[in-house]
Structure 1
Amino acid sequence: MPDPLEPGDPERIGEFWLSGRLGAGGQGVVYDAYGPDGARVAVKVLHGAQESPKELQAMAAEARAAQRVASFCTARILQVRLEPPRPYIVSEHIDGLSLQAAVRGTGDRPERRFTGDDLHRLGIGIATALTAIHRAKVVHRDLKPGNVLLGPDGPRLIDFGIARVLDTRSATQSGFAGTLPYMAPEVYAGRPAGAEADVFAWGAIMVFAATGEHAFKGFTLPEIAHRVRTHEPDLDALPGTLRPLVAAALAKDPMARPPASAVLSALTRDPRDDSGDPADLVAAGAAQAGLHARWEPGDPALGKIAEDAYASLAPAMQALVPEVFLRFAVPGEDGSLATRPVPADELFDRQDAAESQALRHVVEAFGSLLLLSGGQFVLTRPAVLRAWPRLRGWLEAERDGLRAHHRIRQAARTWAEHGHRRADVLSGAHFEDALRWAGSGTRAQSLNRVERGLLDASHRARMTQSRRRRAVAGVLAVTAAVALLASAWAVRAQRTGSQERDIAASQQLAAQSRQFTGTPGTAALLAAAAQRIHETPESRAALLDVVTRPDRGALSEYRPNPVTVGAGGQRLALGNDDGTVAVWDLKTREQVGSPLRLLADAEFKKDLHVSVALSPDGRTLAAAGSRGNPPDGTTPLAQVNKGMVRLWDLNTRKPLGDLPVPYPSSVTFAPDGKTVTVIGADGAGLWNTQTRQRIRQVPFPPSFSYRPMSEHSSDAAVISSDGKIVAFGQASGLQTWNLTTGRQRAPIPTQANAVALAPHGRTAAVWDKHTVWLWNTVTRRRLAARIPLKDPRRLVFTPDGKSLLVGTDMWDVATGARAGTVNAGTADEVLAGAFADAETLVTVSGDDSSQKKNAVRLWNVKVHQPDPRPLVPAGSEPLQPGPSLNGRALAVLNPSVGTDIAYWLWNTGTRARTAGPIAPPPNALAGGTAIAAAPDGKALASGDTYGQIFLWSNNRWTGPFKGGPGVTINTMAFSPDGRYLATGGGTRTETATPVANGKVQLWDVRTGRPIADLGDSPQEVSSLAFSPDGHTLAAGVGATVRLWDTATHRELGTLNNPSGPVSALAFTADGKTLATGADRTISLWDTGTRQSRGAPITGHGGKVASLAFDASGRMLASGGDDRTALLWDVISHRQLGAPLTGHTGAVTALAFENQTLTTTDVAATVRRWNTAMPANPTAAACAIAGRPLTRAEWSRHVPSDIPYQNICPKKGDQE
């Protein structure tokens, strides 16, 4: 558990509630905290009073640079607020022990030493994080075991991004900042520390992890400094593969140390370092950073502690828990909450002695969260108000009741302290409100003896001032209310607490599910369990998040080391390096029988070459295997015949026979399952699977070098997936044969070092000189598409032949455009891949390291992937896009077609150009600064820097409209019916002194006349949006949103955006919710009450540039300056799935149409994404996991008072 808060610690920092202290030092204090939605975070509060404005500004710049660091192996920075007097930084919470705690042991956890593969992976994880932050020009400067957390998906680095600026001055008496045994020699010498100091700390951490001792031990600063500068630590405990790297990292001369990228390149055995793409190297490191040993969770979440205490109580006492905790909450007039101490007599002084005793038991059960001091109870961890889902629900349900009870409570204390004076009783509206609340049968709070006495006295006072008839009626009302109050706790005790318990457990499991994104099987099971126990917005969002990610998990229980894979008939065949073949059921994720023996096991496993194939119905297995390469001598191949091709009947698991092929390397079934094609040392042969007779043989071309086990062979032989076409690639060209006819096609003159054939064999992908080229094997013509690829990798066509998988990236064959990715932080080299169906890809991946077993992973290549053919409008950049409100049309302004400006109109669905090039308006004074397409795609509007507004329709321009703002047009939007055009003004830039005029105007599109000047502002208008019915117009003006009724032109109100200038707007289909975008933040608003709907949503790494709701209003899409689009569950405010990537610039426009999302970027490139959700998300999650949650997992994650459930029953099982 975190240390308790100390006197003087705040209970909240910004929107985050504090739970305890995680640590403190010269830079500040780190708190365990919880956000408004209960998400756990770490908040570092800096000693802001000690910083100058210039230092704080520099710190802000560096922290924001650190925000751009990929979160592969770091704790993501969520928020930076460095304004005095209390600057702070919020980062992601990582569930796991620190390396310091794991090595030294904590509580009942024993000490641990890292060895072998886990030590290697630990080094990779830390080196990956250093490479990433050094790329962002950030130096950690306090790297130590305590700043390395062992998360569920590997080590994560924390507390980086500000140390370099903070430590430019003395942070301690010694003049040094950091942890002494991990500070580099140059720091002790007084020189500034750079990235080399982080590498030194990496080396010292590796020694500590392996030995449990500091590399440079000492008791005093001089002693430690002397050892750091002169001592060479003992590295004998490190494995031989790590020892040279650690020694180099601990070099006394910083210039002699390798950079972090070189350390990472050596650890991953990846040739990429600073000379290549650093992003690829970081991704490769992240994929290998997961620890093999079982992950150990860190301190339990505050919500789980509270829920366990609640579950320990009997149902009658559980009903009193709200009464205890709601008394600590004080509502503010602005809807905020604060906490208060609760006097013991206020809590326990009850009319019913049994109720008082029950309350004492409740307080004892929550002893870790409640502290009695000076006769008052205080919350030791105020964050429980947000961290505990059950309490969060009570607070929301009792929002109005909290105010009523608080007024009664204050009045009762005053009445009691003043001797029960009649002048202090409640009267008028206050008494009416109190009586109304007290008589409500739905409240979760009850009155104590003094509070009930106040109500009685208030009523008696009212009786003396009222007529008898009214008094009698009042007596009856109060008598009923007081009677109800007296028995309220007993009534509540009779209510079942199971529903509240289940809701809290569901919310807790949903939150845990998101901690396991690196292990989708576990994430899917926890999300399914949350939904089964009780459906909540959080459980639904967790489910949708799981099923919208491409990663479908790994065969975690796979024991041999796989090297190849085949698929067919809902089965997988995996060839292993021990000469066996295992068959798995894809649906159940279970192995079918024991592995089948193909070849005898051997000590040297790397000389094995194996290929496996399954017939389309999954009933027959063909496996080809050999060891080594054919001899170079003159020995006849028929006499060598090293290896075999064997067929099995998988129903009987008996061999059907062997095919006499020497040194076989590839085997493929035909679609009818009656023939197989085999490549061996004597060429390619077509065989009958029933008779096991050869039908046709095709020899290798002259001078072809058949070396299947050579990594440096320049010749390649491949078979199309339908088994009909075989291709031989050489430096001299590419030859293809049709095995069914025995005819050779004319050779293609291209160097072919790596080759893949589309299923039909008519398209070949050929790698040559850092590029993959696509060729038509029939016409011998090279297609226009080209795919950049530095090194040859496994190439796999999709079953329809329209896309090519290169590593884990998908590319469109027709255009060569990147069409998505199945990479979920796993960047190992794909050694083999096979499609089980049109959606499911199975890969075998690894790092070619003998220390690591290859992984078998499953991917869905369709979910949330873009249409493989984006719309890329013609024209030289820069292009300016202007989409329609419905996303079906796109207007494009190209300012540099030759010497003239040109406009275009495109249909985003068909990718057809509907108009253009269109010359600019003949009387325009300047180029366009804002454009928009009409909803029907038949017209466009353009505005310029002089405030001129033009309309193109029916093949001609009209305008400029009279009455424009006279300043730059920043933004414009058509109404949904296309009848109106709204425009927003900006700054007059042609004058010596720029003047902002944020005028919002409404125009009649048919006549070009102004309908209304809706508003003026000294700030620019940045965004506009019509409600879907066209009745409301929203304008982003500075940090506010102004709303108008378009019929009456009356202003409806103003929303004050808490996150700064508004950059994007979107309405739900019913117009009841408005989304606003700002810097890294999205806010949701109720347009009726003009109140915010929950806490702001964060996730983008820059400004939110566009927003759109789907038709249901339950999904929100956002586009950002960070070149990504994100999907959100509106109810829970949770992100759904992985970011949608592929755009090369800011995503400036979004629109939903049915289950398709259209996105547009600053280059006017349009992508369309499949955002369909499964009809049964729980079943889809269970399919991802392929198994139920075990009883051991259930007891680990689910509260103990909820009995075990089979959340993923098999067909025929009882629920």
Structure 2
Amino acid sequence: MREQLGAADSRQAGPYRLVAALGRGGMGRVFLGRSRGGRLVAVKVVDEALAGDEEFRRRFAQATQEARRVGGFYTAQVVDADPDADPPWLASAYVPGPSLDEAVRAHGPLPYQAVQVLGSGLAEGLAAIHTAQLVHGGLKPSNVILADDGPRITDFALARALDAAHPSMTVSAEHGAFMSPEAARGQHAGPGSDVFSLAGVLVFAATGHGPFAGGVGAEVLHRIVNAEPDLTGVPDPLAGLLAACLAKNPEQRPSLGHLLQQLAPGDGQGAGQDTGWLPPPVAAMVDGQRTVPSANPMRRRAFLAGGVAAAAAVAVPVGIWLSSGSGSSDGKGASGSGSKGGGSAEEKPAGPKLTPTETIDIGKTDASIHLAYSPDGKQLAIGLKSSVTLWDSASRSKIATLTPKAEGLLAHCVAFGGDGLLALGYLKAPARDNDFQMGAGGVTVWDTASRKEIAALSAPAKGSSLYPMQSVAFSPDGKLLAGARSGPRDSFGEVPLWDVRSGRKVKDLVVGAGKGSSMNAVRSVAFSPDGRILAAGYGGELKGGVVLFDTSSWSPIATLPLNDTDAFGVTTVAFAPDGRTLAGTFGGIALWDVAARKLTARIGAAADQIQSMAISPDGSAVAGAGGGHAVAGHIALWDLASHKEIVSVPAGRSGVGDVVFHPDGRTLATAYTNAKMLSTVQLWTVE
């Protein structure tokens, strides 16, 4: 639970200002902190006794380096650490919500559907950890955080650092209760050990007690090694699966791939139909942790009280909620933080308003959805898990479903090109259980007139790639297709280029060779309107930037660095219609003068979590969307010339994904998950 800092508590850990105490773990205390750019993080500060142990410091340094390789949606990403500090500390993404231990002890066991969602999320999170060649080694209810959009795993790799440095240290009661038999015996604990611990955590979630409860200390370890698990109270659909996971022999336990297949909620299940995946009392605990202490409370975006997701989901005109200030340039490339100071609605520039006009319900999906309008505006493409649906923009009716010939693809982005071409960027799913190739991606291209697949463009994994195809863009003449993805080891990422019609690879543009890590990737690509420049937004680990390439030679002509970003760097890039301004999202929105190669404004801050945006076809406004976790979902419009916010509206239970303008500029399409945890495309009239 969050508490105010005491008089003896430090107020700083490296670059992070500590604002509250979150709790205590096996290595030290955990604090809520803010980065210099306003990003919220959870900072674990090591106790003095361990900080003075050189062997522990060595193991801690190794573990933190390993932990930063871990990606995935269901892990709390490690973003920074300093094992040489006094005391050492580690910062990870802050996830508002109680631990599973806190939630169950406060409100009792979770309902079956919530346990199902919990299990599938934790299995996917562990798969991401195993992909990084790591084993968690200490999964337990206290390091599972319950967020409104799914669980998060914390403390991966760190438990092993403590055990390795101090093998004789007494095992905590909680850790011991969820330890695997091989770990209890002091034997090698591989990925199967995490499967055993996962099953124990799910038993606790479903019943309020662990599978080997009823003893303490050595007695619990003896029961884990020799006794059968107590599955009393576990719902029948789960009991058999969890019993298999709790087999004494790790070779007899099912794989994570099998668990994901068995636990993945079907349509209409899992996340719940009315109040999200968490029961109302636990959801209230999540909401109670959204309020963040701050020395400057006006930095946070303030919305009027009310049902945020419900207000955005209706398809009738609603009142627009205006905020009262904006970021503005200081003439030196920096600007205001997006704070909503003491201004009023009258100070805003005259401009468009947003009115929700129609909702396209996609239903229950287990992946985010992606949007693109055709150049003529007649079709809206919606990228789903492994296909693309085409919708008639006028009638709002579905006209086709395009499915790649290759199987096992997970969509990540869509884009239209000239001559009716449509591209889907994807991640290639594993061919067998536990064979996660996080960097194996590619692009499928269709001719939308004939509905025929005309190209299958592959981008095999390189080095320690963690991120697949993040973005795709056609050149203005429609001949070339650029992608955005992870790159070779120790780079910032890579831009693969193909000749669309022939499928021939033209070039692989490596960004930041020798300067990056496995957490970096090129996140976004865009061609200038005249086709002479290709912009590649990259980043990771709270910093990034944009590299500009000359398309005649494919040589880099400028690098536009950007510090104090969110964890992913620059996630979207777009040129204004006249090509003079380049915009990029970094949590806020950055604007550059293309000719001068100069940052002219930063709209908002990384803490606003804006990760998608679009520039209006007439070049007058930029729309940004984001939120989730620490910030409510929202959509906003800013005047591109003055950088002042025009309008802001709430949207999405867990933040907003893609945002795209119709070519006529009168409609804005956004993608988000609504209050019922169903995927939704909301259409807004811009007037």
Shorter chain as denominator, the TM-score bin is 0.5 to 0.7
Query: Paired residue for 2:284?
Result: 296
Q: After the TM superposition, which residues 423-822 of structure 1 pair with which residues of structure 2 at under 5 Å, given as runs?
A: 503=298, 507-509=301-303, 532-537=322-327, 555=361, 721=399, 772=405, 788-790=406-408, 801-803=420-422, 811-813=444-446, 816=455
Query: Paired residue for 1:493?
Result: none
Change in CA separation of 1:791 and 1:1098 when aligned onto 2, cut-off 3 Å = closer
Query: Paired residue for 1:31?
Result: 31
Any idea what the Cα deviations from partners look like across 1:1132-1152, whole Å, max 9, x if unmatched?
233765479xxxxxxxxxxxx
Query: Paired residue for 1:97?
Result: 98
Query: Paired residue for 1:902?
Result: none
Change in CA separation of 1:1129 and 1:134 when aligned onto 2, cut-off 3 Å = farther
CA shift for structure 1 position 135: 1.1
Query: Paired residue for 1:277?
Result: none
Q: Does 1:1097 align with 2:569?
A: no
Query: Paired residue for 1:148?
Result: 144
The whole-number CA distance in structure 2 between the counterparts of 1:293 and 1:127 is 21
CA shift for structure 1 position 88: 1.2
Change in CA separation of 1:89 and 1:911 when aligned onto 2, cut-off 3 Å = same
SS of the residue 1:241 aligns to: helix
CA shift for structure 1 position 76: 1.9
Change in CA separation of 1:36 and 1:297 when aligned onto 2, cut-off 3 Å = farther
SS of the residue 1:179 aligns to: helix
Query: Paired residue for 1:205?
Result: 201
Any idea what the Cα deviations from partners look like across 1:821-864, whole Å, max 9, x if unmatched?
xxxxxxxxxxxxxxxxxxxxxxxxxxxxxxxxxxxxxxxxxx99
The whole-number CA distance in structure 2 between the counterparts of 1:911 and 1:1113 is 14
Count, aligned residues: 488
Any idea what the Cα deviations from partners look like across 1:691-748, whole Å, max 9, x if unmatched?
xxxxxxxxxxxxxxxxxxxxxxxxxxxxxx5xxxxxxxxxxxxxxxxxxxxxxxxxxx
The gaps in structure 2 that reach 5 residues or longer are 328-336, 341-352, 365-379, 381-390, 428-441, 448-453, 460-470, 483-496, 513-526, 534-546, 587-598, 623-636, 652-667, 676-682
Change in CA separation of 1:1177 and 1:293 when aligned onto 2, cut-off 3 Å = farther
Picking from 602, 606, 616, the partner of 1:1130 is 602
Matched letter for residue 605 of structure 2: H
Change in CA separation of 1:1106 and 1:818 when aligned onto 2, cut-off 3 Å = same
CA shift for structure 1 position 151: 0.5
Determine if contact 1:43/1:90 at 8 Å carries over to the other structure.
yes
SS of the residue 1:205 aligns to: helix
The whole-number CA distance in structure 1 between the counterparts of 2:113 and 2:508 is 50
The whole-number CA distance in structure 1 between the counterparts of 2:600 and 2:131 is 29
SS of the residue 2:284 aligns to: coil
CA shift for structure 1 position 209: 1.2
Change in CA separation of 1:804 and 1:1098 when aligned onto 2, cut-off 3 Å = closer
Picking from 160, 166, 173, the partner of 1:170 is 166
The whole-number CA distance in structure 2 between the counterparts of 1:205 and 1:881 is 42
Determine if contact 1:817/1:870 at 8 Å carries over to the other structure.
no
Q: Does 1:247 align with 2:248?
A: no
Matched letter for residue 87 of structure 1: P
The whole-number CA distance in structure 2 between the counterparts of 1:245 and 1:18 is 42
Q: Which has the higher contact order (CA 8 A, sep 6+)?
A: 2
Picking from 477, 481, 487, the partner of 1:870 is 481
Q: Give the aligned CA root-mean-square deviation in angstroms.
A: 6.0
Determine if contact 2:148/2:286 at 8 Å carries over to the other structure.
no
CA shift for structure 1 position 166: 2.7
The whole-number CA distance in structure 2 between the counterparts of 1:123 and 1:234 is 18
SS of the residue 1:45 aligns to: strand
Change in CA separation of 1:8 and 1:530 when aligned onto 2, cut-off 3 Å = farther
Determine if contact 1:19/1:31 at 8 Å carries over to the other structure.
yes
Change in CA separation of 1:1128 and 1:253 when aligned onto 2, cut-off 3 Å = farther
Query: Paired residue for 1:115?
Result: 111
The whole-number CA distance in structure 1 between the counterparts of 2:393 and 2:56 is 68
Determine if contact 1:196/1:259 at 8 Å carries over to the other structure.
yes
SS of the residue 1:532 aligns to: coil
Query: Paired residue for 1:76?
Result: 77
Any idea what the Cα deviations from partners look like across 1:168-221, whole Å, max 9, x if unmatched?
132674267961211122222122433222211111111111111222223531
CA shift for structure 1 position 940: 10
Determine if contact 2:621/2:638 at 8 Å carries over to the other structure.
no
Q: Does 1:194 align with 2:190?
A: yes
Determine if contact 1:99/1:146 at 8 Å carries over to the other structure.
yes
TM-score (norm 1): 0.33
CA shift for structure 1 position 30: 1.4
Q: After the TM superposition, which residues 1162-1177 of structure 1 pair with which residues of structure 2 at under 5 Å, given as runs?
A: none
SS of the residue 1:243 aligns to: helix
CA shift for structure 1 position 87: 1.7
TM-score (norm 2): 0.55
The whole-number CA distance in structure 1 between the counterparts of 2:71 and 2:7 is 37
Matched letter for residue 164 of structure 2: T
Picking from 256, 260, 269, the partner of 1:260 is 256
Change in CA separation of 1:520 and 1:264 when aligned onto 2, cut-off 3 Å = farther
Change in CA separation of 1:4 and 1:912 when aligned onto 2, cut-off 3 Å = closer
Query: Paired residue for 1:237?
Result: 233
Change in CA separation of 1:1115 and 1:873 when aligned onto 2, cut-off 3 Å = closer
Matched letter for residue 27 of structure 2: Q
SS of the residue 2:455 aligns to: coil
Determine if contact 2:321/2:649 at 8 Å carries over to the other structure.
no
Query: Paired residue for 1:185?
Result: 181
Query: Paired residue for 1:41?
Result: 41
SS of the residue 1:296 aligns to: helix
Matched letter for residue 127 of structure 2: T
Change in CA separation of 1:1210 and 1:1114 when aligned onto 2, cut-off 3 Å = closer
The gaps in structure 1 that reach 5 residues or longer are 106-110, 271-284, 305-383, 391-502, 542-546, 560-585, 587-612, 622-667, 669-720, 722-755, 758-764, 773-787, 821-862, 884-906, 914-931, 942-971, 974-1024, 1026-1064, 1067-1075, 1077-1081, 1084-1095, 1119-1126, 1141-1152, 1158-1171, 1191-1207
Determine if contact 2:123/2:259 at 8 Å carries over to the other structure.
yes
CA shift for structure 1 position 529: 9.4
Matched letter for residue 870 of structure 1: L
Determine what percentage of the aligned residue pairs are the same residue: 24
The whole-number CA distance in structure 1 between the counterparts of 2:339 and 2:140 is 39
Q: Does 1:63 align with 2:64?
A: yes
Name the structure where helix makes up a greater proportion of residues: 1
Change in CA separation of 1:803 and 1:214 when aligned onto 2, cut-off 3 Å = same
Query: Paired residue for 1:485?
Result: none
CA shift for structure 1 position 805: 6.4
Q: Does 1:133 align with 2:133?
A: no
Q: After the TM superposition, which residues 978-1127 of structure 1 pair with which residues of structure 2 at under 5 Å, given as runs?
A: 1065-1066=559-560, 1076=561, 1082-1083=562-563, 1096-1100=564-568, 1115-1116=583-584
The whole-number CA distance in structure 1 between the counterparts of 2:314 and 2:47 is 42
Matched letter for residue 301 of structure 2: Q
CA shift for structure 1 position 4: 4.7
Change in CA separation of 1:299 and 1:1186 when aligned onto 2, cut-off 3 Å = closer
Any idea what the Cα deviations from partners look like across 1:736-784, whole Å, max 9, x if unmatched?
xxxxxxxxxxxxxxxxxxxx79xxxxxxx7x8xxx63xxxxxxxxxxxx
Determine if contact 2:139/2:194 at 8 Å carries over to the other structure.
yes
The whole-number CA distance in structure 1 between the counterparts of 2:255 and 2:134 is 14
